[in-house]
A and B are shown apart, each in its own frame.
Chain A
Amino acid sequence: MPFEINEIHPTIIGSYPDADIDFALKTNINEQRMNLAQASYVSVTKISSGSSNWAITESAGTTEAVIDLDITIPLKSLVETFSDDWVELDKSGIVESAEETTQTVKDVKKESVLTLIEEIRKTKTIPYSEQIADRLYQLNEDVLEEYPENDLILPDSLSDYYRFLKINTNLSFPSISITSNGNIWVQWEQTVNHHFSIEFEGQGEVVFVAFAPDRYIPSKTNRASGIGTIYSVKDLIESSNVGDWVLIKDKAA
């Protein structure tokens, strides 16, 4: 349901390490108007550093809430206002017109996904950035064909994958696919006993699966699954003994 930005009275409640692209705002947004009984804050995420599109995501009050991209609008005025002093919000400067909110969520999500893919392509510190971008572009086309009526690659998941790639610049090229709910899934599988996969669930969270030879009894295979964050995967790769086939050989150290 579209809403006017002048109904948001935000204060900063958190940021990500690379806070130049993301931040979260606490609001007193009208719950009924948002049509979400438990909505107590929204997070505001800049789709990319080069874009004026910001995603406003309803949450149910905690970081464990299910992400549900409710509305995405070009928020030039919001950016301008917030970039100077977005704690003390001047309501008069950030009213969005009805026309600006008529772009469908799907259109903006698609645009966001394509923008993010190009960001990945341009980030030369990411190994295989061109190949990864090409694969993601193809997957986006596949998903658009498969689910023309609803699902797309989720920008939040793709954004997490992009941040993950920027943090971990020593990864070999993975298999990439898309889950039914639009999340990015990447995996490295050398044999059935040498497997590491990550599903990017958004909000910085991941679900991982790791199969690897035991360090002490190599004829045995350890198998584990769990949850983590895009920042802790680096430690998981080390502790799960999967680095041999996940990391680029000369960059493993």
Chain B
Amino acid sequence: MSNPSIPDTNHISRYCRPSKVDGETPQPPAFQLREEKGEDYLSVDWLEFLKEFKGGCDAAAITEALRKRGLKVSKGGRHAVFNVGDLRSYVKKRVPKKRMLDVRHVPRHEEDSHSGVYNYNHEESNFIAVLISQAIKEVLKP
């Protein structure tokens, strides 16, 4: 894999659609890999990258980055924000064999913050999705 890992001190966000949010809380289905689309990583955005190239990493900047990629962002959705190192260690401590998630930058074009959470698969997607939902650091409104 040639995509560079994102440092543990950095942050990522995942857009959670309204049907995957209960109240203000993103639910595990927001972090499942979509089997029907053959996903092998969870799409996220690298916030420090956004800050460096777009001048901000607040909710509006995240929303703009998503919309530029053609994603529909609704008012009822939420951005779940994670610290990369905290997310990786939280999951590592709670899965068999202490396996580490891997968070990598996967730009689809220049200056794209698109990134991915790797190292889990469809068979264990529900289990890992629950753990990821428990490691959310902050929830932002679009």
B72:A146 contact, CB within 8 angstroms: yes
B36:A180 contact, CB within 8 angstroms: yes
In the complex, which of the residues B18, B21, B35 has the most CB atoms of chain A within 10 Å of its own CB atom? B18
A197:B28 contact, CB within 8 angstroms: yes
A153 closest partner in B (C-beta):
B19
Contact with B along A171-197 (1 / 0, CB 8 A): 000011111110001010000100101
Specify which chain A residues have a CB less than 8 angstroms from the CB of B72 in the assembled complex. Answer: 146
Q: Which of B22, B124, B126 contacts A177 (CB 8 A)?
A: B22
* Chain A CB within 8 A of B130 CB: yes
Contact with A along B1-32 (1 / 0, CB 8 A): 00000000000000001111110010111101
A197:B126 contact, CB within 8 angstroms: yes
* Chain B CB within 8 A of A235 CB: no
Interface residues on A, range: 20 to 34
A178:B20 contact, CB within 8 angstroms: yes
A180:B27 contact, CB within 8 angstroms: no
Please report A residues at the B interface, Cβ cutoff 8 Å.
139, 142-143, 145-146, 175-181, 185, 187, 192, 195, 197, 199, 207, 209, 211, 223, 225
* Chain A CB within 8 A of B92 CB: no
A209 to B27, CA, bound (A): 13
Indicate whether A146 sits within 8 Å of B18 (C-beta atoms), given known contacts A177-B27, A197-B126. Answer: yes
For the residues of A in contact with B, the DSSP-based class is strand
B27:A185 contact, CB within 8 angstroms: yes
Indicate whether A139 sits within 8 Å of B127 (C-beta atoms), given known contacts A180-B32, A192-B134. Answer: no
Q: Which of B18, B19, B27 contacts A175 (CB 8 A)?
A: B27
A142:B76 contact, CB within 8 angstroms: yes
Shortest CB-to-CB span from A153 to chain B, Å, is 9
Please report B residues at the A interface, Cβ cutoff 8 Å.
17-22, 25, 27-30, 32, 34-36, 72, 74, 76, 94, 124, 126-127, 130, 134
B123 closest partner in A (C-beta):
A225
B19:A143 contact, CB within 8 angstroms: yes
Shortest CB-to-CB span from B104 to chain A, Å, is 22
A209:B127 contact, CB within 8 angstroms: yes
In the complex, which of the residues B29, B30, B34, B134 has the most CB atoms of chain A within 10 Å of its own CB atom? B29
Specify which chain A residues have a CB less than 8 angstroms from the CB of B74 in the assembled complex. Answer: 142, 145-146
A8 to B133, CA, bound (A): 46
A142:B17 contact, CB within 8 angstroms: yes
Indicate whether A180 sits within 8 Å of B34 (C-beta atoms), given known contacts A142-B18, A146-B18, A223-B94. Answer: yes
Specify which chain B residues have a CB less than 8 angstroms from the CB of A199 in the assembled complex. Answer: 29, 126
Shortest CB-to-CB span from A83 to chain B, Å, is 36
Shortest CB-to-CB span from B50 to chain A, Å, is 24
B20 closest partner in A (C-beta):
A177
Specify which chain B residues have a CB less than 8 angstroms from the CB of A139 in the assembled complex. Answer: 19
B32:A177 contact, CB within 8 angstroms: no
